[in-house]
Amino acid sequence: MFEEFDVTPEPAGATDPGFFNRIAVGLSDLFKRDPANEATQPVELDPRLLPYADKVATAEEAVAHIKSGSHVFIGTASATPRTLVAALETMSMPPAGLELMHFITSGAFPHDEQGRATTRFRHRTFFVGSDIRAAVKQGLADYVPLSIARVPQLIEIGRIPVDVALIQVSMPDEFGYVSLGVSVDVIPAAIAKARLVIAEVNPFMPRSMGDSTFHLSRFDYLVPVATPVLEYVHPATEERVVEQIARYIGGIIEDGSTLQIGLGRVTSAALKYLSDRKDIGIHSDVITDAIIPLLEKGVLTGRRKTSQRDKIVTSFAIGTKRLYDLIDRNPLFCFQPIDIVANTAVIASQHRMVSVTQAFAIDLTGQVCVDQLRGEFYAGLAAQGEFLRGASRSAGGKAIICLASTADADSASCIRATLDPGDGVTIARTDVHYVITEYGIAYLFGKSIRERAIALIQVAHPKFRAELFAQAQALGYLTAAQSLQNMRAYPVEEEHTVVLKDKRSVLLRPAVSSDGDSIRDLFHSLSEEDVFTRFFRTVRALSGNDVQRLCNVNFENEVAFVAVTGTRENPQIVAQACYFIDPSTNLAETAFMVSPAWQRCGLGAALQRRMAEHAAARGVRGFVAEIMATNQNMIRLAQAGSTNVTVEPGGTTVHVTSLFSDSPPTSA
């Protein structure tokens, strides 16, 4: 379901996404030649490069100046300087002891027909994409598990040495300035430190706005190329898992949020569910074509951003010619170095900052693995740590981890009691907030190990929940008295916001096992009279079994709803209602708890209607309730919503039967 970034080199305008392919792109010279008289005709240089003709060289001539033992930085992603890398790899007498350093690359390094890397050099990489994965396996490349946002600083102080920078830029303007185009990221730091800078000058590279311009005097050699910028398209997906996770993510993003986009399919799919939002902003390490529909619909205004309002701020772009054409000379886009874009303080300052990270595995305490798959290094950290921490500190922000509940054709759970030996901890449990699978949303921050385990088991695949539950008990995360009832996906479609008579609004949603502590708090907010009328006895506290019966229900013959205020990160349950079906009568007994501060405002009636809608849709015939004879408010509530109601006195209590149809009740 999830994949790391790969681009397919394609001609401009191509639409085939071509996952993980490596297609050689033919290069056409910027020089104009007459094939019949090429040996005798002078090469005509593009007029824009004439003032710098002394710097112009072929790729082979330029890389010949690289000395043995050099540390060579390679430009990023769609701006990978493939012509220069190819010239370096095919040198008859290559420099000895070179180390090539890079972030994301595509189609740059050679492989044989069996997919084995045939690069002639050592590599140091911050991202294990398909272009370098074979080299890592073969011991030809070292993976550095480091946030790319920290790399510029380490280059500056010399901890990461850079002697040579190979990059790709746009054509110069009339003043001799070129743009780094669709990839700024680490490149300014590499240029500043390198003793030798060689740039491919490409007329297809768009001129991006922001901190992306350099004068040609900063470069030692210019290599004209005419290669369409690498394109990448996320394939359209109707995969259920991807779409369901995307819906959950989209559902919790509010108007005025600022988004980090990311490269995965889930994030791209989630943007489809924001078409009805207002004033969404972008502050992201990377942008893709997924933003274009929202731009066209006027959703991406950035009006509520705290920093660089109205601007789409990013460090690099990966997409199609359509996106690149949109970026070209467009002041809406602001490209900046990765250490500026991924500054945690800047991210945290944004209004309702949302960051989404795709993961491969998580354990029941909240430890997350994002850069290893089946024990092999896969993808990388990028700048996810900074964005997660920044989003978690943003006012109204959301730091989201998402993953499929299973892997390998549903044969293995991605939510595990403990991470496997091959799963490195990339994100500490202390930094995890939201965790979303196709089975629901768990919120972990500030929660105990017990609460985390319960919440994560709820969003695991049902076939693994019992096993995970038993493992959690064996590890001491859960007590022996805890039980597991609910085996279904969280029904987000059953969430409804209602406005009460006093104009306050509450969210009515299905209860989940992790609501237990909040329901206990609700109980303790009740007066002694409320407790007695609810439980028909004096109850000083709810036992663990009592609490579980109110929220840890199976939603088959036991159903519970809660009324919630506050944020998803800090919800307060102000009311609870449940019904329990008697299969012999197909009638359901109901029970309610409503906080004193929320009584007499229509909340009980709203819960009654919601439960009646739910029960009637499932074929339940009606509700029954045993109510204290003195509790007139609850008697009226039980009678509301139906024209077929019977009230039977029974001493200190009354028995109320409310049918959803005109059929008479069945005798027990």
The whole-number pLDDT of residue 642 equals 73
How much is the CA Rg of the chain, to the nearest whole Å? 31
Rounded average pLDDT over 594-612? 91
Rounded average pLDDT over 469-483? 91
CB atoms under 10 Å from CB of 388, counted, come to 26
Question: Percent of the chain scored above 90 by pLDDT?
Answer: 66
The model's pTM: 0.83
The whole-number pLDDT of residue 234 equals 66
Q: How confident is residue 15, by pLDDT bands cut at 50, 70 and 90?
A: very low
Q: In angstroms, rounded to a whole number, what is the distance separating the alpha carbons of residues 597 and 588?
A: 28
The whole-number pLDDT of residue 538 equals 57
Contacts of 645 (CB under 8 A, 6+ apart): 638, 639, 656, 657, 658, 659
Distances (CA, A) of 207 to 53, 178, 181, 325, 428: 21, 8, 5, 9, 39
- The two beta strands, 505-510 and 558-566, are antiparallel
Average pLDDT, the chain: 87
Sign for the CA dihedral angle at 98, 104, 110, 113 comes to positive
CB atoms under 10 Å from CB of 353, counted, come to 29
- The two beta strands, 440-443 and 434-437, are antiparallel
Contacts of 570 (CB under 8 A, 6+ apart): none
Buried b (16+ CB within 10 A) or exposed e, 278-311: ebbbbbbbbbbbbbbebeeeebbbbebbbbbeeb
Tokens of 288: 């893709």
In 298-447, where does DSSP find H-type helix? 321-327, 338-341, 344-349, 384-393
| Vertex 152: Cα angle to 201 and 309 (nearest 5) | 80
The whole-number pLDDT of residue 246 equals 92
Contacts of 508 (CB under 8 A, 6+ apart): 495, 496, 497, 498, 561, 562, 563, 564, 606, 607, 610
Rounded average pLDDT over 519-524? 90
- Smallest CA-to-CA distance from 441 within 481, 398, 408 is with 398
Rounded average pLDDT over 500-512? 94
Q: How confident is residue 472, by pLDDT bands cut at 50, 70 and 90?
A: very high
pLDDT tens figures, 610-630: 989 999 998 999 888 877 777
pLDDT tens figures, 400-440: 999 999 998 889 999 999 999 989 999 999 999 999 999 98
Q: Is the pLDDT of residue 374 over 90?
A: no
pLDDT tens figures, 195-213: 999 999 999 999 999 999 9
Q: How confident is residue 25, by pLDDT bands cut at 50, 70 and 90?
A: very low
Lowest mean pLDDT among 14-18, 183-187, 464-468: 14-18
Lowest mean pLDDT among 106-110, 175-179, 257-261: 106-110
Rounded average pLDDT over 477-481? 88
The whole-number pLDDT of residue 641 equals 64
Q: How confident is residue 5, by pLDDT bands cut at 50, 70 and 90?
A: very low
Q: In angstroms, rounded to a whole number, what is the distance separating the alpha carbons of residues 138 and 118?
A: 10
The whole-number pLDDT of residue 465 equals 94
Q: Point out which residues pair with 323 in neighbouring strands.
A: none
The whole-number pLDDT of residue 140 equals 96
pLDDT tens figures, 127-168: 999 899 999 999 999 999 999 999 999 999 999 999 999 999
